[in-house]
Amino acid sequence: DTGVSQDPRHKITKRGQNVTFRCDPISEHNRLYWYRQTLGQGPEFLTYFQNEAQLEKSRLLSDRFSAERPKGSFSTLEIQRTEQGDSAMYLCASSFGLLQETQYFGPGTRLLVL
Amino acid sequence: QKEVEQNSGPLSVPEGAIASLNCTYSDRGSQSFFWYRQYSGKSPELIMFIYSNGDKEDGRFTAQLNKASQYVSLLIRDSQPSDSATYLCAVAAGGTSYGKLTFGQGTILTVHP
């Protein structure tokens, strides 16, 4: 069990560019979550998957954001036409089980949009 | 009203003292409650979870839950400088949003020697 991994760990991009982040959950975990965290705030929920199905998306997730988990294993989060307000830490978490599951976080991807 | 509220601090305690961190939540349907620790520049690390009213102890940490008052707390006994971090309270929703965590803004704890 190597824990949740995320790639890249840091990303600097220019406004208007597209970026894609990857998350690999703990191997037996069937739920995968994406959160966003800005300085001085707690993480905010973006979306989550159970296996390959995307079950909920936050209103924070504009049309520029899309997430996939095609085979129920790793997930990608894409941001199109990035804006400076997208600068944040993007966190992925995974969990296993139907009741009272505990989420374990990856190291995060820190995005800076110039 | 925020869904999950914490005193942002900073809370400063001397080494060896008890640190008390508090959290209130607004959704009475909330099922599970978590405390995460986050060091600067790092991701949240789970410390404890609690589901039932009362106290739950794990080493130097004690979580307390009072669903009637919609209140969760974390006590850290014998605080150490290495406990200095931001502590995040997280609440898991029930119903169709089951599992989604709502976080407070975090309490900054500083333990000074």
Contacts of B43 in chain A (CB under 8 A): 89, 91, 105-108
Amino acid letter for position B43: S
Render pLDDT for B30-74 as a digit per residue (tens, 0 to 9).
888 999 999 999 999 999 999 889 999 999 999 999 999 999 999
Cβ A42–B90 below 8 Å, yes or no?
yes
- The 10 Å CB-count burial string (b at 16+, else e) for A95-114 is beeeeebbbbbbbbbbbebe
Contacts of B97 in chain A (CB under 8 A): 56
Mean pLDDT of chain A: 92
Give the rounded distance of the alpha carbon of B101 from its chain centre.
13
d(CA B96, CA A110): 30
Render pLDDT for A27-65 as a digit per residue (tens, 0 to 9).
888 899 999 999 999 999 999 999 999 988 998 788 999
Of A89, A91, A101, the CB nearest to B99: A101
Following DSSP, what letter does each residue of A59-93 receive, concatenated?
A: TT--TTEEEE-TTSS-EEEEE-S--GGG-EEEEEE
Please check whether residue A45 touches B, CB under 8 A: yes
For chain B, what percent of residues have pLDDT higher than 70? Answer: 94
pLDDT for B80 beyond 70: yes
Confidence (pLDDT) at B96: 59
Is the backbone peptide bond immediately before A25 cis, with ω within 30 degrees of 0? no
Contacts of B4 in chain A (CB under 8 A): 42
Task: Let me know: does B54 contact B73? Beta carbons within 8 Å.
Answer: no
Cβ B43–A95 below 8 Å, yes or no?
no
Contacts of B45 in chain A (CB under 8 A): 105
Render pLDDT for A54-109 as a digit per residue (tens, 0 to 9).
988 998 788 999 999 998 899 999 999 999 999 999 999 999 866 557 899 999 99
Q: Which two tokens stand for residue A9?
A: 């760990």
